Chain A
Amino acid sequence: DIQMTQSPSSLSASAGDRVTITCRASQSITVYLNWYQQKPGKAPKLLIFAASILQTGVPPRFSGSGSGTDFTLTISNLQPEDFATYYCQQSYSAPWTFGQGTKVDFK
């Protein structure tokens, strides 16, 4: 199975900050990498697929990059509604696997 490792596990930030979350795969997954946002008590929401393509309706302050084994999710100009937990997930091969999550909370 492909292991996905996110860092950091949590971070504190303020509105307006630029935040970067990294995700590393245990083997190359080319660009088969998705990012999800989850708020407490809610289902995850797809933000980015294919490592860098923004899902319809997602604000452009979210961006993704990377290929192979190393990926990043960047949130520019952090907004109050962005405080949540973010997960990366590989769709390269079954079993699809998630990172352990990165919680972004208010500093």
Chain B
Amino acid sequence: EGQLVESGGGLVQPGESLRLSCAASGFTLNSYWMHWVRQVPGKGLVWVSRMNSDGSIIDYAASVKGRFIISRDNAKDTLYLQMNSVRADDTAVYYCARVHTAMAPGGNYYGMDVWGQGTTVTVSS
């Protein structure tokens, strides 16, 4: 089925930068859309960003647009999230997730079927 492992989280000061990585194994990253989702401990899931298989389509949540950059290195089977100008409200567990495309009556449908274990980002001075 495959596995995703995030890394790069930690304590960072407001205004600084951090890069998260998401390494894939057991499947080829370049065949899938990939997403980042974050979750403040004790709170709900919040979608952050997505990128298609070849990197030509990228979307961001309004709260991170202009500050975060999603990218991928398909040769390394790794997804990245460059977090710039971080704020206290960026503090969360960050998950990467693979999107599974299923063909069903009516069209293609999409769900996040493989998730990493999460990496914690804490923004504090």
Q: Which residues of A contact B (CB under 8 A)?
A: 1, 30-32, 34, 36, 38, 43-46, 49-50, 53, 55, 87, 89, 91, 94-101
CB pair B113–A98 under 8 Å, yes or no, is: no
CA distance A101 to B39 in the complex (A): 12
CB pair A53–B102 under 8 Å, yes or no, is: yes
CB pair A98–B110 under 8 Å, yes or no, is: no
Which one, B44, B60, B100, B104, contacts A46 given CB within 8 A? B100
CA distance A72 to B22 in the complex (A): 32
CA distance A52 to B60 in the complex (A): 28
Residue B35 CB within 8 A of the other chain: yes
Set of chain A residues within 8 Å of B102, measured between Cβ atoms: 49-50, 53
CB pair A43–B118 under 8 Å, yes or no, is: yes
* The 8 residue pairs across chains A and B that have the minimum distance between CB atoms: A49-B111, A50-B109, A43-B115, A94-B59, A91-B110, A98-B45, A34-B111, A96-B47
Set of chain B residues within 8 Å of A30, measured between Cβ atoms: 106
Q: Is the interface of B mostly helix, strand, loop or mixed?
A: strand
Which one, A55, A95, A97, contacts B111 given CB within 8 A? A55
Set of chain A residues within 8 Å of B62, measured between Cβ atoms: 1, 95
Residue B116 CB within 8 A of the other chain: yes
Q: Which residue of B lies closest to A93 (CB)?
A: B59
**Smallest distance from the beta carbon of B79 to chain A beta carbons, Å?**
15
CA distance A44 to B114 in the complex (A): 9
Residue B61 CB within 8 A of the other chain: yes
Q: Which residue of B lies closest to A53 (CB)?
A: B104
With contact pairs A43-B118, A50-B102 given, residues A32 and B44 touching in the complex (Cβ less than 8 Å): no
**Smallest distance from the beta carbon of A90 to chain B beta carbons, Å?**
10
Set of chain B residues within 8 Å of A36, measured between Cβ atoms: 45, 112
**Smallest distance from the beta carbon of B45 to chain A beta carbons, Å?**
4
Which one, A45, A87, A91, A95, contacts B59 given CB within 8 A? A95
Residue B72 CB within 8 A of the other chain: no
* B38-88 with Cβ < 8 A to chain A: 44-47, 50, 59-62
Q: Which residue of A lies closest to B108 (CB)?
A: A50
